[in-house]
């Protein structure tokens, strides 16, 4: 076997075909023909002296050698892409921003018009990621994540946007019927069917209860209110009067200020911060938007 590295084009073709499971999918990703992918894979097999695929050309299976090679190449190409992005002039290409979907919909997109007015030559590309992936490998030029509020930020690469505050919100019509006055009112299991839940943050009620000094007991399955896949589904359900959601202030601020939701008990700090991680120059515009975000009303008790 040769100790020279195989051609880069052959490695890329194999990595894409192995990762995607089909030659045609690899061809689409690399903007070449399926025949070109097959030729590059054969060239790599000849260079290595081992077979990399078994089975049909349409849906080949990986050999043991391919199982060893593919994950290493996938990681290597990702590192190369990261390094190229890091040293590239950000003004020459789009700004790639990664954040979780509800933050994108409820906070970031409503503020993009201002950014585009200030920077008409920069294209912003948004991608969604999970809220809890802040500690993992960063994707994009900027990544907005929710982090436990330790205060130990790497200021050369990270910047705190604002602390998270949680509070129960509901439609004005439902608020007239429920008449919440104390945080402990929501500990009443009679209200359990009205509590809305989110699959991606099932601990929201318990987290708010602990911060507000009100133990919110877990309801039985027959008592529990609806659970939604994403936070923005839960918030829309609250706007429509389907129940009460515990939500971060910055995700419901526009709805509260517009009167679509009310927050009779105010908001309490959750112990999390929203942080922007950057690969390019500092996110001055994001920081300015964060500073312009109104502070939430504090914890309320009536009577």
pLDDT for 4-52, tens place per residue? Answer: 889 999 999 999 999 988 888 888 888 889 899 999 999 999 999 999 9
Contacts of 162 (CB under 8 A, 6+ apart): 250, 273, 274, 290, 293
**Coil, helix or strand for 77?**
helix
All domains of the chain in start order, with CATH: 8-87 (1.10.10.10), 90-163+272-292 (3.40.190.10), 165-270 (3.40.190.10)
Contacts of 165 (CB under 8 A, 6+ apart): 248, 249, 267, 268, 269, 270, 296
pLDDT of residue 5: 87
pLDDT for 132-165, tens place per residue? Answer: 434 344 456 788 888 887 766 565 677 888 899 9
The C-alpha atoms of residue 111 and residue 277 are separated, in whole angstroms, by: 19
The C-alpha atoms of residue 17 and residue 11 are separated, in whole angstroms, by: 10
């Amino acid at each position: 076997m040769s100790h020279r590295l195989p051609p880069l084009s052959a490695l890329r073709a194999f990595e894409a075909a192995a990762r995607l499971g089909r030659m045609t999918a690899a061809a689409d990703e690399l903007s070449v023909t399926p025949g070109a992918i097959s030729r590059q894979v054969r060239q790599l097999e000849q260079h290595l002296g081992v077979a990399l695929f078994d089975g049909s050309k349409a849906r080949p299976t990986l050999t043991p050698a391919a199982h060893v090679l593919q994950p290493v190449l996938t990681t290597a190409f990702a590192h190369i892409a990261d390094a190229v992005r890091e040293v590239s002039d950000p003004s020459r290409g789009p700004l790639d921003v990664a954040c979780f979907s509800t933050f994108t919909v409820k906070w970031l997109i409503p503020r993009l018009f201002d950014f585009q007015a200030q920077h008409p030559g920069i294209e912003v590309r948004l991608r969604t990621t999970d809220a809890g992936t802040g500690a993992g490998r960063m994707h994009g030029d900027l990544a907005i994540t929710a982090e436990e509020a330790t205060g130990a930020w790497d200021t050369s690469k990270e910047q705190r946007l604002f602390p998270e505050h949680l509070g129960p919100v509901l439609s004005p019509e439902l608020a007239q019927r429920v008449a919440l006055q104390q945080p402990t009112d929501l500990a009443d299991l009679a209200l359990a069917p009205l509590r809305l839940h989110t699959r991606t943050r099932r601990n929201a009620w318990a987290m708010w209860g602990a911060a507000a000094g009100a133990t919110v007991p877990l309801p039985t399955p027959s008592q529990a209110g609806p659970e939604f896949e994403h936070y923005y589904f839960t918030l829309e359900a609250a706007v429509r009067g389907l129940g009460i959601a515990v939500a971060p202030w910055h995700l419901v601020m526009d709805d509260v200020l517009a009167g679509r939701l009310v927050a009779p008990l105010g908001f309490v700090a959750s112990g999390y911060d929203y942080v922007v991680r950057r690969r390019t120059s500092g996110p001055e515009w994001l920081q300015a938007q964060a500073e312009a975000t109104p502070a939430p009303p504090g914890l309320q008790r009536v009577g």
